Chain A
Amino acid sequence: QVQLQQWGAGLLKPSETLSLSCAVYGGSFSGYHWNWIRQPPGKGLEWIGEINHSGSTNYNPSLESRVTLSVDTSKNQFSLKLNSVTAADTAVYYCATSNSGTNSYGLDVWGQGTTVTVSS
């Protein structure tokens, strides 16, 4: 079964670029959709986007202009970059996937979450 471990900078200033990575353990890197989701303090879940092993992406339209997802197949890792951050981007960020190989059947594997705070 796939497991995910994520990391990245937790404190940013406004206008900086958020950068997070997620490593995949215990399974094949191909054949999955790799997702990023975030959760502002005290609020609900927001899907940021997905990428597959070949680099094909699908983004949340509300964030698309600022988001870049990428994969490093040599390291079994995928990454999130969000530029021009503001306080509204303060959230816990999760990487997630589905062991079924498709998002259609829900996300059953999640990273531990990374708290990102944007403050001057």
Chain B
Amino acid sequence: DIQMTQSPSSLSASVGDRVSITCRASQSISTFLNWYQQQPGKAPNLLIYAASSLQSGVPSRFSGSGSGTDFTLTISSLQPEDFATYYCQQSYGNSPITFGQGTRLEIK
């Protein structure tokens, strides 16, 4: 299986801050990397697909980059509704889908 490792596991930031979360794959996955936001008690919400494409309806302050094994999710200016848990997920070829362990973004 392809292992996905996110860092940091948790992050404290303030409204208006720029934050980045990284995700590393155990082998090259090209750009088959997706990012999700999950609010407590809710299903995950797709933010970014194919490493850098913004899902319809997602604010433009969210962006993704990377290819191969290293990827980054960036939020350019944190809003109160952005404090949540974020997951990366790989969907490479016929490999089983795997998720990162999650990054909890908290208000400082």
Contacts and interface: CB of A to CB of B under 8 A. Distances in A.
Interface of A: 35, 44-47, 50, 58-61, 94, 96, 100, 103-108, 110-113
Nearest to B56: A108
State the 10 A-B residue pairs at the shortest beta-carbon distance, nearest first. Answer: A106-B34, A110-B43, A106-B49, A47-B97, A45-B99, A108-B46, A105-B49, A106-B46, A44-B102, A103-B91
B62 interface: no
The binding surface of chain B is classed by DSSP as loop
Given A44-B102, A45-B44, A106-B89, A60 B96 contact: yes
Given A45-B87, A108-B46, A61 B99 contact: no
Given A44-B87, A45-B87, A107 B46 contact: yes
A44 B99 contact: yes
B7 interface: no
Nearest to A49: B96
